[in-house]
Amino acid sequence: MPRVKPPSEILREPLCPSLPPEIWINIFSHCHDLSHLWNTCRRVSPTLKACAERAFGAFHLKHVKIEFQLDKWNLGGKRGPHEPAIMLEFERLGKGKEDSVAWFSGHFRGHKFVKGFKNDKTEEVIMKRWLENVKNRKPELPNYTISVGSMVNDTHIPSLIVGSEGYKAQLEWREMLDLFFRERARLEELKAAWQDRHSSGRDAPKAKKSKSVSVEIAPSWQDAEGDVRRDIRRMRLKEHYHADAEMVWAIDSLQYFEKADSSKWSSTSPQMLPHLPGAGLGERWFGSTNIVQELYLDECSSMNRIDTQMRIVCKEKGD
């Protein structure tokens, strides 16, 4: 019996001609939702990926700012908008094989220079502090914030190199935005899930009200957003320290600090810390409580820096 040949595949013809890259770049240059542009449009096809990245490099990187804090010690307290810092803005992209490298330059923001004193704010002193903070930065306390439009975070900056003269730095901009917008996508996903849970609760049939039942105030996303961002940040730290069992334990133990009631402390019962599972006498992490304390201080400082920068950005945009 002769072998039957399968029908040849029918090629789908496009209903309209594809747009040239120049048009796509022009369209993407007017996109205001940069998270959607990077996380969604970029993944449609290799052509749109190249067009989206070209639009970012030509039009959107100018809205990226990096602020490096110059605090020498982390005291775990709040930082105001007038603390000494170096603010960098986009300057230019590399050419040819260096098109993945972006150069940033900026200025010192803080008190006026006071020359002739031991603790003056000369450029030499500022540069020394900046270089030290960049060299000693760690994932739990990066000592900087990244602003992309109205979005602010402190995700990792790959291949960061700070110049020894002037307030200049270079970095891998595509990798930096990948990490930045990955956490933004997580936040948007968790926000949608949170809204679905609470909208279903509001849409449920309401029981008959009685005089003894108190009226409950519906939770708002603004109240929950800080906790969600904190949890995403802890996920980032656990990914970085996945091979360090002690650090993973310490990150998981941060939740017990939030549940502790500091108002119950007294001089007769000076229990400063809650009980941490695994840190009891004879247990594996006995003696590692200080790591949890340091992580907690670093988290408070970092989250406050992000929140402060978000308020500054909103104020500048008039929101």
pLDDT higher for 113 or 46? 46
Q: With both helix axes pointing from N to C terminus, report the angle between 221-240 and 245-252 in degrees, rounded to the nearest 10.
A: 170
The Cα–Cα gap between 156 and 175 comes to 9
Alpha-carbon radius of gyration of the chain: 25
Q: What is the pLDDT of residue 70?
A: 86
Mean pLDDT confidence for 91-106: 91
The Cα–Cα gap between 152 and 27 comes to 25
Residue 117's pLDDT band (cuts 50, 70, 90): very low
Read off the pLDDT of residues 276-296 as tens digits, 9 standing for 90 and up: 888 888 889 898 889 998 999
Q: What is the pLDDT of residue 13?
A: 66
Read off the pLDDT of residues 221-231 as tens digits, 9 standing for 90 and up: 888 898 999 99
| Range with lowest mean pLDDT among 12-16, 67-71, 178-182 | 12-16
Read off the pLDDT of residues 118-150 as tens digits, 9 standing for 90 and up: 555 677 888 888 988 899 899 999 999 999 989
| Range with lowest mean pLDDT among 57-71, 98-112, 200-214, 297-311 | 200-214
The Cα–Cα gap between 302 and 154 comes to 8
pLDDT > 90 fraction of the chain, expressed in percent and rounded:
49
Asked whether 162 and 134 are in contact (CB, 8 A), the reply is: yes
Read off the pLDDT of residues 261-277 as tens digits, 9 standing for 90 and up: 554 544 454 445 667 88
What is the pTM assigned to this prediction? 0.82
Q: Is the pLDDT of residue 168 over 90?
A: yes
DSSP string for residues in 18-84: PPPHHHHHHHHHT-S-HHHHHHTGGGS-HHHHHHHHHHIIIIIGGGEEEEEE--SS--S----TTS-
The CA–CA distances, whole Å, from 166 to 43, 135, 158 equal 37, 17, 21
Greatest mean pLDDT range, 15-24, 57-66, 91-100? 57-66
**How many C-beta atoms surround the C-beta of residue 24 within 10 A?**
19
